[in-house]
Copies of this chain bind each other. A is one copy, B any other.
Amino acid sequence: MICFELYAASRAMTSRYRPALDALGLTYPQYVALRVIWHHVTITIRDLGHALALDSGTLSPLLKRLEAQGLITRRRGTHDERTVTIGLTPAGAALEHQAAGLPERIAYTTDLTLDEFHQLHHLLSRVRACATTNTA
């Protein structure tokens, strides 16, 4: 039952982020979305959805909440008016510094060695690749 182990481990790890994210006023999905936006500065909802493997049914309300918090901006595309490009407000950009080093701090509290992290990362990307490519 690898699937249950993934499901339980994912929830357990996410719960480790919760105290720090609560202090920033973010949920975990909001945080990972912001990470992608911080990295790209501006990004379409379409590309954000590909990066996170989430559809507009999840992202639309999530991004609406981030906009309501004054962290991001939404702008309709000019040459393709179907697209919406997400940008950062000063507050949204500033939040990157407050959240800096969070994954490292969490990883530090686990007992895994660096080598085990690399192994796990490799296996998880394999699993994810198998599970996604074959589905399409």
Contacts and interface: CB of A to CB of B under 8 A. Distances in A.
Interface of A: 1-17, 28, 32, 35, 52-53, 103, 106-107, 109-112, 116-117, 119-121, 123-128, 130-132, 134-135
Given A53-B12, A109-B134, A6 B123 contact: no
A132 to B, nearest CB: 5
Q: Chain B CB within 10 Å — which of A123, A127, A132 has the most?
A: A127
B17 A13 contact: no
Q: Chain B CB within 10 Å — which of A53, A130, A131 has the most?
A: A131
- Copy total for this chain: 2
Contacts of A1: 35, 103
Nearest to A54: B11
B132 A123 contact: no
B15 A128 contact: no
Contact of A6 (B3, B124, B130): B124
